[in-house]
């Protein structure tokens, strides 16, 4: 045995790709950037997924009278959560191949009663969503996305700040000249949650108005454009997100930089993969969930019963009925790639990672046997058998992959949907694309890793 063959080292992927593969990678990443620009909220991502699925021949589950091998269907849950399936040749009771990703991302949500005026300005109060470093959200152009309902009950889709001619919004920050007190605070306390108020206007409605002149001007504009009043904010869901578009990063364009790549990079690649599936052995399923960033709670998060319910609906249509035992058998025989981003080693902060067990940008798909914090708390910890099986599928299909922990032991930690999938008695492993600047307004991923994630999901659907 040649001694070098006994050694392991993750491989840098770019140099291993053929010219054709590099072209395919660039094409995929172009589509990915467009997907990111079209989907800056969970609702927009689900709408984009439906449009892509229908173009690829998927139909709404309700319109399918029976289900046969090769049929392609989707089920949408409350506009924020979607399941897509390609029915396999083997019966559902032999299990499914599931790739699950999330489409919600950290952001600033508007409070229910957000509008006020102060110092000749109209402002909007916010409540941040997910784990953000608050200082990153100031002094940067923001767009406003979401839905409102008029007093007559008409839904109004809001998207302001994305078109070239649209105005944008921002959270102002303190000038360094007067920031003596602020600069001596801890980073986590320097910007307070209640200080993340968005600049929304600065003209008055009419010189003759005595009170609330700035606010009334905004309300008048909102009424003219959308037919809404101040009360309609109470029921609205409005999200402030970075207003810039996804870009190539680096002189050689090796990376994609954009808002919301956690976890739309895995959502997009798993979606693209299932759109390519034809006649799989096992039924292939792609699940895009909401609310992962706040604990997978809520009726559109992984902890909701939607997934089990949708699976039972599919089983009933295929098998004629689906009792508790049947559904339990389906789940027991199923496997899942919990597809979420990992932390890439950052040359500016190498100290937080243990380099032998860290993910590197450009070294491909990252498999994470466990996540969690401290003593693996909150992790599903995939079995040796399952990690081997998935690694083998990737190897057999020429996919480059690496493994990682989230960081040094006791440096911090995090969780994903994996533990909730594991609770359903399925095999599951976390895997996905390593990210730089995770949860910041401008996250960075390597194109080779995006491409490898896509190839991983294709291989999993084909060979699992």
Which residues contribute to the site for Mn ion (CB under 5 A)?
262-263, 340
> Shortest Cβ distance from residue 27 to Mn ion (Å)?
25
> Shortest Cβ distance from residue 356 to Mn ion (Å)?
24
| Minimum CB distance to Mn ion smaller for 106 or for 280 | 106
> Shortest Cβ distance from residue 130 to Mn ion (Å)?
7
| Minimum CB distance to Mn ion smaller for 146 or for 260 | 260
Distance CA 127, CA 440 (A): 16
| Minimum CB distance to Mn ion smaller for 340 or for 405 | 340
User: Shortest Cβ contact with Mn ion: which residue?
Assistant: 263
Do the beta carbons of residue 233 and residue 218 sit within 8 Å?
no
- The three state secondary structure string of 259-322 is CCHHHHHHHHHHHHHHHCCCCCCCEEEEEEECCHHHCCCCCCCCCCCHHHHHHHHHHHHHHCCC
Do the beta carbons of residue 431 and residue 367 sit within 8 Å?
yes
> Shortest Cβ distance from residue 392 to Mn ion (Å)?
26
> Shortest Cβ distance from residue 400 to Mn ion (Å)?
22
| Minimum CB distance to Mn ion smaller for 42 or for 263 | 263
Distance CA 230, CA 220 (A): 10
Distance CA 251, CA 445 (A): 15
Do the beta carbons of residue 306 and residue 81 sit within 8 Å?
yes
359 secondary structure, DSSP code: B
| Minimum CB distance to Mn ion smaller for 371 or for 448 | 371
| Minimum CB distance to Mn ion smaller for 71 or for 443 | 443
| Minimum CB distance to Mn ion smaller for 117 or for 430 | 430
Distance CA 257, CA 125 (A): 28
| Partners of 344 in beta bridges | 359
| Minimum CB distance to Mn ion smaller for 86 or for 428 | 428
> Shortest Cβ distance from residue 417 to Mn ion (Å)?
9
Cβ-count burial 19-31 (b if 16+ within 10 Å, e if not) = eebeeebeebbee
| Partners of 128 in beta bridges | 108
| Minimum CB distance to Mn ion smaller for 239 or for 263 | 263
> Shortest Cβ distance from residue 168 to Mn ion (Å)?
24
CA distances from 94 to 90, 91, 98, 333, 464 (A): 7, 6, 13, 6, 11
> Shortest Cβ distance from residue 9 to Mn ion (Å)?
27
Tally of helices (H runs) and strands (E runs) in the chain: 11, 22
Q: Where does residue 298 rank: exposed (0-12), middle (13-18), buried (19+ CB within 10 A)? A: middle
> Shortest Cβ distance from residue 109 to Mn ion (Å)?
16
């Amino acid at each position: 045995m040649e001694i070098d063959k006994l050694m392991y080292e993750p491989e840098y992927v770019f140099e291993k790709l053929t010219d054709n593969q590099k072209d395919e990678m660039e094409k995929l990443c172009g589509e990915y950037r467009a997907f990111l620009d079209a989907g800056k909220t969970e609702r927009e991502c689900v709408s984009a997924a439906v449009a892509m699925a229908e173009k690829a021949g998927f139909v709404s589950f309700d319109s399918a009278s029976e289900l046969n091998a090769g049929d392609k269907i989707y089920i949408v849950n409350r506009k924020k959560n979607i399941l897509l399936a390609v029915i396999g040749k083997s019966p559902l009771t032999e299990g499914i191949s599931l790739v699950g990703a999330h489409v919600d991302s950290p952001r600033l949500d508007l409070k229910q009663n957000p509008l006020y005026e102060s110092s000749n300005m109209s402002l909007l109060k916010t409540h941040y969503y997910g784990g953000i470093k608050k200082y990153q959200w100031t002094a940067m152009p923001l767009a406003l996305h979401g839905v409102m309902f008029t007093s007559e009950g008409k839904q109004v889709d809001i998207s302001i700040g994305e078109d070239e001619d649209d105005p944008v919004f921002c959270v102002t920050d303190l000038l360094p000249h007067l920031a003596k007190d602020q600069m001596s605070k801890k980073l986590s306390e320097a910007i307070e949650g209640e200080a993340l108020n968005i600049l929304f206007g600065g003209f008055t409605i009419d010189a003759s108005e005595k009170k609330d002149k700035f606010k009334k001007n905004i309300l008048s504009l909102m009424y003219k454009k959308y037919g809404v009043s101040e009360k309609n904010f109470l029921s609205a869901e409005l999200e402030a997100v970075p207003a810039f578009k996804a870009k190539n990063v680096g002189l050689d364009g090796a990376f994609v930089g954009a808002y919301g790549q956690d976890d739309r990079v895995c959502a997009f690649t798993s979606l693209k993969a299932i759109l390519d599936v034809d006649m799989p052995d096992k039924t292939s399923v792609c699940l895009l969930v909401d609310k992962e960033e706040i604990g997978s709670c809520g009726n559109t998060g992984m902890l909701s019963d939607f997934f089990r319910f949708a699976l039972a609906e599919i089983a009933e249509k295929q098998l004629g009925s689906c009792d508790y035992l049947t559904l339990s058998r389906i789940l027991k025989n199923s496997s899942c790639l919990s597809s979420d981003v990992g932390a890439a080693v950052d040359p500016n902060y190498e100290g937080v990672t243990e380099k032998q067990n860290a993910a590197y940008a450009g070294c491909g798909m990252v498999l994470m046997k466990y996540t969690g914090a401290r003593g693996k708390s909150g992790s599903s910890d995939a079995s040796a058998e399952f990690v081997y099986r998935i690694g083998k599928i990737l190897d057999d299909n020429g996919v480059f992959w690496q493994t990682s922990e989230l960081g040094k032991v006791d440096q911090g930690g995090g969780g994903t949907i994996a533990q909730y999938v594991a609770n359903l008695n399925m095999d599951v492993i976390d895997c996905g694309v390593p990210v730089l600047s995770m949860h910041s307004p401008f996250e960075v991923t390597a194109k080779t890793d995006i491409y490898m994630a896509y190839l991983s999901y294709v291989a999993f659907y084909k060979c699992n």
